[in-house]
Amino acid sequence: MSTPKPQRSKEELEDIILRKIFQVSLTEPAEPNSRVVYLEMTAAEILSEGKPMRLTRDLMESILIDRLMGSFAAAVEPPFQYLVGCYRRAYDEGRKITVMKDKNLRADMESVIKQAKKLSVSYCRIHLGNPEAFPGSGSDPATASNASPLLPLVFSEVGSGSVDEFGGSSSSSSSGVQCPPGFLDEFFRDSDFDSLDPILKGLYEELREIVLKVSALGNFQQPLRALLYLVSFPAGAKSLVNHPWWIPKGVYLNGRVIERTSILGPFFHVSALPDHPIFKSQPDVGQQCFSENSKDSDLRSSYTTIKTLMNNLYDGLAEVLRTLLKNLDTRESVLEYLAEVINKNSSRAHIQVDPLSCASSGMFVNLSAVMLRLCEPFLDANLTKIQKIDSKYVFYGNRLELRGLTALHASSEEVTEWINKDSGGDGQNRLSQSQEATSSGSNISQPSTVKPSGEKTTYSFICECFFMTARVLNLGLLKALSDYKHLVQDMQRSEDTLKALKRQAPSPQLKIDIARLEKELELYKQEKRCHEAQILTDEPLLERALSFYRLMVVWLVRLVGGFKMPLLSACPVEFASMPEHFVEDAMELLIFASRMPKAFHGILLDEFMNFIIMFMASPEYIRNPYLRAKMVEVLNCLMPRPSHQSPAATAAAASLFEGHQLSLEYLVRNLLKLYVDIEFTGSHTQFYDKFNIRHNIAELLEYLWQVPSHRNAWKQIAREEEKGVYLNFLNFLINDSIYLLDESLNKILEHKELEAEMSKTAEWERRPAQERQERTRLFHSQENIIRIDMKLANEDVSMLAFTTEQITAPFLLPEMVERVASMLNYFLLQLVGPQRKSLSLKDPEKYEFRPKQLLKQIVYIYVNLARGDTENIFPAAISKDGRSYNEQLFSAAADVLRRIGEDGRVIQEFVELGSKAKVAASEAMDAEAVLGDIPDEFLDPIQYTLMKDPVILPSSRITVDRPVIQRHLLSDNSDPFNRSHLTADMLIPDNDLKAKIQEFIRSQQSKRGESLSMQSDKATIQTTSSEMLID
């Protein structure tokens, strides 16, 4: 039977454990190359005191100091590695003693090991704070290069052992460094801040340097995880926001400087979007993922990879900010940083952005995604925290420069007046003080942060986050979407130019130009795909942004009393003073999202719909007519389109337009009102802008006419507003129809001349190359103009055709009927008159020119109005048109309609109308002969026709005929003689003159016999020869 192993004493175990941990010995080791260091001086000291030659906890610190300070041949490890090794060995010893059965002994040893760990960590801090404190530091290559030896341990701690795509390794296996469990936690958690602060600052600077020029394909994830790990410690969070580079200072500080030099800036710069060549990141995403030879499968894979990588970045940065915001000691610094980034990059909202003074698009798209993540807690479906958003932040908040932004309606003077009233009259003084105190030196006026009571205004984080996110999205995501749109337009122009160059005769210079343009196009395509990869394919990003803007529109509507109509006559100042881009960005995002297959998935669009209906025709609330026009563009994008949508999507879209009370009551009314309002926008391009805007309105109105409930609302508006907005609408519709058809037909004649010129090959080739190029460019430009004008004209005529089926009264009003008749006569003359053959085109469909369809609609308008003409005034109005009327046009048009197989009943009614017009023309000639010479005072000074209802203009005091001036007022609310303001209710009836005119007519009729006047009139009727008409 073997003898049992003797139990070691506590002192013996303590000695053994400490020797192993610190790798020291009090006796000279047998092997000279051993890593164990012989502490000869310590051994002599113990021996002189007569103590046992053992290591004890009381000697622990002196042993460690001797080991670090001594110059030992065996001590090959630099101090930091040695101390980390001590901690690791202490951890290993701690695991071993867990099997001890003696609890008291185990507790004693755990205490010793804990003390050894603490001591190792403490001296690590001392060493990192003062690397020259211990000999041997110079042998550490990390220390020699000023790189912290702590960083590899941090990477080891945050690494998961996986390897991210495109080389983003998340483990430290390449360096072989492994962090002992618990070391970093003890290093950063249990210490005074002053000793840790310089160490942490150095780490942050190194992390910043690592990602400074890294793109989305580079290794940014490991530094990002390290950053997140460090800020999870209170000391780490405090050190970061106290770093001089947290918000850089300086006279020349701008957006780009913040991006490059702040600690977080380079992390936010990591992106797939291209940047200015000076700040280009590597690897190049465009070249690596979207080269010319990329296959579709490779593109899809690249899109997925970039989207995944960027979302990793967004999540990491959002968690960093979230960690700092949860800490009350660091929250204020985070908000200051975000505000400084926003304010210093306000010029990113400009059309042309200076890349040297503004941060990159990539940074602001990333910041957009991060801010949206911070908003998630208050973007719930019920918007339960909306009441925490305070509108007075725009006036009194001191963080963001909001007061200089264009407001929805209020001028800066109106806002100042409101602040003065709200603050007891000292708003202007406090405004001036705030301007002087603005740190950026900007000229943008800043509101005061002091309430009238003198207390400092404080706002909830939700309120601050809401306004900051709105600004960031404007400068980031929405700006990037705008850049993408312009990029696509630039690509299209370059492609058109390239096609034109390839059609030219070859030459050396042409070859160079084509090669240059092809290279330019390739870069455009790469940039376009980078935008698509990071933004347009990231459906969750767009969904979050839509959720944010849903909150925005609901919050704005709360400022005017909620979703109800009609709106108050006076716009609340809070609403009027909100930045215009809050609404514009919401509309732009909806337009973009409508082109994405699943962007609206899970998004409630009802609030957007109601918001648009409420404000699109309210210039008293939203001053900018182009912003209100953009709302119509949104409606156009949301409109049901069965040919392009699934049945479910069509049904959902239809419910938006047909299932809401606001929509049923106000949608048609407000579209008609906006159609009128958009005539005058105040822009120098207003004449051409209105056609594009009205095109969107026309498409919506055509759809709504097919919905019975909306058609009934339309008919009711026509009755109620017969002499109001509906009459104005008809006037502008007729004006546009005449202009567009006239313009497109004239352009067709010019186009045919140019086409004939180019078809003479020999003569054409003799012309200089530059002239041929210019004429070719003009040829294609004319093609586009004709196509667009004809498309718009078709829409207008179509609207006249389908509305006159059921609404005729407004067309037959005295001030409108002659205008309508003149338009129809003009169209008829163009389509079946002498000019018809000259308008023939090889491919009319290419130009949207459908003469048969157009003629059919014109005839239907004639017939519809004749059916509604109970007082038989329409034939006289037709015949009164001296410019285009000819009785034979009606028979010519009827012949064409018979050939194309039109309804015989309609043709018969049309021919009968022509006959009535012929009779009315004869009667008019008779009446004119009876009247003879009419005194000038009885003639209208504008039309030179006999007045029937003379009225006096209040300003110029000139007398005109009421129908004539009312027709003028439909387009222009001014006196035509002196341009002073004039409305129909200001007209003064001239009853005396009216009586004189009536007496004159009676007198003339009594002087001549009716039969004589009829013969005279028939002899003087002038008709067009049938040979002039085209069969």
pLDDT digits 0-9 by tens, 490-533: 999 998 888 878 877 788 888 888 899 989 999 999 999 999 99
Neighbours of 823 (CB within 10 A): 22
Q: How far apart are CA 635 and CA 616, in angstroms?
A: 10
946 touches 934 (CB < 8 A):
yes
Q: How far apart are CA 627 and CA 292, in angstroms?
A: 39
Mapping DSSP onto H, E and C, the string for 634-679 reads: HHHHHCCCCCCCCHHHHHHHHHHHHCCHHHHHHHHHHHHHHHHHCC
- Close Cβ partners of 54 (under 8 Å, ≥ 6 residues apart): 11, 12, 14, 15, 26
Count other C-beta atoms under 10 Å from residue 41's C-beta.
Answer: 10
Q: Any idea what DSSP says for residue 24? A: E
Spacing of C-alpha 372 from chain mean position: 15
pLDDT at 431: 42
Find all residues with CB under 8 Å of 270, minimum gap 6, and list them: 211, 214, 215, 216, 218, 220, 281, 313, 362, 366
> Measuring CA to CA, which residue among 736, 746, 756, 863 is closest to residue 801?
863
* Cα-based distances in Å from 188 to 110, 221, 242, 687, 730: 22, 22, 16, 68, 76
pLDDT for 436 equals: 37
**Phi, psi dihedrals of residue 5, rounded to the nearest 5°:** -65, 130
Furthest C-alpha separation in the chain: 161
Structure token digits, residue 736: 């546009």
Q: Cβ of 616: how many Cβ atoms within 10 Å?
A: 26
Q: Is the dihedral of CA 214, 218, 221, 223 positive or negative?
A: negative
Give the count of alpha carbons within 13 A of 358, CB side only: 22
- Could you give the CA distance from residue 588 to residue 233 in angstroms, rounded to a whole number? 41
Looking at residue 92, its pLDDT comes to 93
Residue type, 478: L
CB 736 within 8 A of CB 689: no
Angle (deg, nearest 10), helices 477-502 and 508-531? 150
142 or 226, higher pLDDT: 226
Dist. CA 13–CA 112, nearest whole Å: 10
Residue 445 sits at the vertex; the CA angle it makes with 443 and 446, to the nearest 5 degrees, is 125
Q: Measured between alpha carbons, how far is 226 from 204 in angstroms, rounded to an integer?
A: 9
Tell which wins on pLDDT, 241 or 962: 241
Q: Is the pLDDT of residue 911 over 90?
A: yes
Q: Which two tokens stand for residue 1018?
A: 């028939």
Give the pLDDT confidence score for residue 649 in this predicted structure.
80
Contacts of residue 769, defined as CB under 8 A and 6 or more positions apart, other chains included, come to: 504, 505
Q: Which two tokens stand for residue 805?
A: 């089926």
Q: What is the 3-state secondary structure (H, E, C) of 827-839?
A: HHHHHHCCCCHHH
Please write the tens of the pLDDT for every residue from 397-432: 889 988 889 999 988 888 877 777 766 554 444 444
Q: Over the stretch 688-724, which tens digit does the pLDDT of each residue have?
A: 888 999 999 999 999 999 999 999 999 999 998 888 8
pLDDT (tens digit per residue) in 98-129: 888 888 888 999 999 999 999 999 999 988 88
pTM of the complete model: 0.86
- The confidence band for 571, taking pLDDT boundaries of 50, 70 and 90, is very high
Strands (E), 257-406: none
DSSP 706-732: TSHHHHHHHHHHHHHTTTTHHHHHHHH
- The three-state secondary structure class of 981 is strand
Cα–Cα distance for residue pair 1011/994, rounded to 1 Å: 28
Residues 6+ apart with CB under 8 A from 214: 220, 266, 270, 281, 282
Residue 1026 scores a pLDDT above 70: no
Nearest to 984 by CA among 994, 974, 993: 974
Indicate the DSSP class of residue 959. Answer: E
Confidence of residue 726 (pLDDT cuts 50, 70, 90): very high
Element (H, E) at 989: strand 988-989
- Residues 820 and 731: their CA atoms lie apart, in Å, by 9
Confidence of residue 861 (pLDDT cuts 50, 70, 90): very high
pLDDT at 244 over 60: yes
User: Strand, coil or helix: what is 214?
Assistant: strand
> What separation in angstroms does the CA of 920 have from each of 48, 355, 878, 929, 1005?
141, 72, 9, 14, 18
Structure tokens at 379: 């973007």
SS3 136: coil
Closest CA to 911 of 933, 938, 883, 888: 888
Q: Which residues, at least 6 apart from 439, have a Cβ–Cβ distance to it below 8 Å?
A: none
b/e burial code for range 965-994 (CB count within 10 A of at least 16 → b): bbbbbbeeeebbeeeeebeeebbeebeebb
> Quick one: the chain helix, strand, coil %, rounded to 5?
65, 5, 30
- Residue 224's closest CA among 323, 344, 305, 84? 323
Give 421: exposed, middle or buried? Use CB within 10 Å, 0-12, 13-18, 19+. Answer: exposed
**Cβ–Cβ under 8 Å, residues 254 and 244:** no
Listed range (37-41, 329-333, 379-383) with the worst mean pLDDT: 37-41
Triad 288, 292, 296: Cα angle to 5° = 85
Give the start-end residues of each E strand in 894-983.
950-952, 959-961
Q: What is the pLDDT of residue 1016?
A: 45
The residue behind tokens 């609403």 is: 575
CA separation for the pair 385, 298 (Å, rounded): 44
Q: 136 and 78 in contact (C-beta within 8 Å)?
A: yes
The pLDDT of 542-570, averaged and rounded, is 94
Distance between the two ends of the chain, CA-based, in angstroms? Answer: 134
Q: How many CB atoms lie within 10 A of CB 524?
A: 18
DSSP type of residue 98: G
Segment 80-105 mean pLDDT: 90
Look over the chain and give the mean of its residue pLDDT values, rounded to a whole number.
Answer: 85
Mean pLDDT of 876-891: 90
